[in-house]
């Protein structure tokens, strides 16, 4: 583990320097989300290499994580598809050049117009519930030849303390998603009778896991289930979608996942379960969002106010409307005072925004270097579920998004909202 020279926290370095950031903020006023093109492309290539043993492998990026056209096009250039979960996400994927088998549509409680658009685009539809079979047939007139179903095994999913030292636990039985095991068998039979020829199986059992064992464990469950389903129904299972759940280390002391080791673990399960069953041609899909983008985006903000009451507060020009996770989940996001990476962390602050809510805090009792007015702060790991979860409470306007290109130049990829945008949907008459 690497520590800063001050020795007060493990080092988590921004992908941008103070000199670069000063030049960028001279063009684009804070706050804004900044993305690292070089890091995104390198990570997409590492993922692809980790699953290169499977000829049909495809990553379907979770559009909900970062629904930004420039980012989606960048990932499409790297061979990724798009995982969509709503009407507008389907429209966005279409406008970014994804079509047909490039799109996976995984939705729940789905309105008819969303199934209709998914069918028109030729997307692979991943059904969330047994009752959606008749609903889909009635909505689009027929069951597509290729269809997928989401599996929820119920109960509690757990991997005990792994070699990485982390325990993975979640409760699928409390989740609103997916078919039961019995419903899968009945559903596959019914879909086949209604004209489906090729099938996929999907599951998501835990979120933001920091364990190289999660994907292989999930793969083992899905591979065994796929073998059983083929025996029970005779259906042609063409792909198995491991969905998301591979996490990132938000805290600097956490160890990151090794995607090569994860891919190798899935390969071993594949050869142990699917190959002996004569299913060695099944394609593996993933639907990663956080892993793909999280570390390669940050929220850049400026210190503007200081308050000395019962605690020491630093007010910044960003707020929870720009990054909801800390306010919503109490989530940790590391903060770097840019240019002071090696200064002693001898000041305890709450770092706050300006919303009329007491949970509008990016950090609570955080040890940081002394912060002065105008200092630039980088809030790490906002590349996924950062900008996308923004909102307009208190009339706050959504910030810009900027891409740091591989050559060091920058490109505005989403302008900041204006008051005219805010008022555009209001009716005053």
Residues serving a catalytic function are: 356
Alpha-carbon distances of 263 from 50, 83, 246, 327, rounded to whole Å? 5, 20, 11, 34
* Radius of gyration (C-alpha) of the chain in whole angstroms: 23
Distance CA 389, CA 385 (A): 6
Distance CA 25, CA 31 (A): 9
Q: For residue 321, which phi and psi values (nearest 5 degrees)?
A: -65, -20
Distance CA 211, CA 246 (A): 8
Distance CA 94, CA 262 (A): 31
Say how many C-beta atoms besides its own lie within 10 A of residue 48's C-beta.
17
Distance of CA 212 to the CA centre of its chain: 17
Token pair of 114, please? 């969303």
Alpha-carbon distances of 181 from 1, 207, 216, 256, rounded to whole Å? 43, 21, 20, 33
Alpha-carbon distances of 352 from 78, 179, 349, 407, rounded to whole Å? 37, 42, 9, 34
Distance of CA 138 to the CA centre of its chain: 32
Backbone dihedral region for residue 281 (phi beyond 0: left; psi -120 to 50: alpha; all else: beta): alpha
Distance CA 399, CA 386 (A): 11
Distance CA 79, CA 73 (A): 10
Q: Which residues in 154-273 belong to E strands, given as ranges?
A: 157-159, 168-170, 198-202, 236-241
Distance CA 100, CA 224 (A): 29
């Amino acid at each position: 583990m690497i520590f800063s020279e001050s020795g007060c926290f493990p080092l988590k370095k921004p992908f941008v320097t103070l000199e670069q950031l000063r030049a960028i903020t001279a063009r684009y006023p804070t706050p804004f989300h900044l993305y690292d093109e070089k890091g995104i492309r390198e990570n997409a290539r590492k993922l692809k290499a980790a699953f290169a043993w499977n000829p049909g492998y495809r990553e379907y990026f979770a559009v909900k994580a970062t629904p930004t056209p420039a980012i989606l096009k960048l990932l499409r250039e790297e061979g990724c598809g798009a995982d969509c979960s709503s009407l507008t996400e389907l429209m966005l994927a279409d406008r970014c050049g994804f079509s047909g088998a490039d799109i996976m549509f995984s939705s729940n409680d789905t309105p008819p117009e969303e199934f209709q658009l998914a069918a028109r685009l030729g997307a692979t539809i991943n059904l969330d519930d047994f009752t959606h079979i008749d609903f889909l047939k009635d909505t689009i007139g027929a069951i597509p030849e290729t269809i997928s179903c989401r599996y929820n095994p119920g109960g509690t999913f757990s991997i005990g303390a792994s070699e990485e030292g982390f325990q993975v636990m979640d409760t699928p039985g409390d989740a609103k998603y997916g078919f039961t095991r019995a419903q899968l068998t009945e559903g596959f039979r019914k879909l086949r009778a209604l004209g489906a020829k090729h099938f996929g199986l999907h599951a998501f059992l835990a979120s933001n896991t920091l364990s190289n064992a999660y994907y292989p464990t999930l793969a083992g469950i899905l591979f065994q289930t796929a073998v059983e389903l083929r025996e029970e129904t005779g259906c042609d299972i063409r792909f198995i979608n491991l969905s998301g759940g591979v996490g990132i280390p938000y805290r600097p002391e956490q160890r990151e996942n090794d995607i090569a080791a994860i891919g190798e673990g899935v390969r071993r399960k594949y050869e142990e379960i699917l190959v002996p069953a004569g299913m060695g041609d099944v394609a593996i899909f993933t639907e990663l969002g956080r892993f793909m983008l999280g570390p390669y985006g940050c929220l850049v903000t400026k210190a503007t106010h200081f308050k000395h009451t019962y605690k020491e507060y630093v007010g910044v020009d960003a707020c929870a409307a720009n990054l909801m996770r800390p306010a919503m989940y109490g989530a940790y996001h590391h903060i770097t005072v840019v240019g002071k990476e090696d200064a002693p962390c001898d000041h305890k602050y709450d770092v706050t925004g300006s919303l009329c809510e007491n949970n509008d805090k990016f950090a609570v009792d955080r040890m940081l270097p002394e912060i002065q007015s105008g200092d630039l702060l980088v809030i790490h790991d906002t590349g996924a579920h950062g900008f996308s979860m923004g909102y307009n409470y208190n009339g706050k306007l959504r910030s810009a998004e900027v891409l740091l290109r591989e050559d060091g130049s920058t490109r505005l990829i989403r302008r900041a909202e204006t008051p005219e945008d805010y008022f555009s949907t209001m009716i005053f008459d």
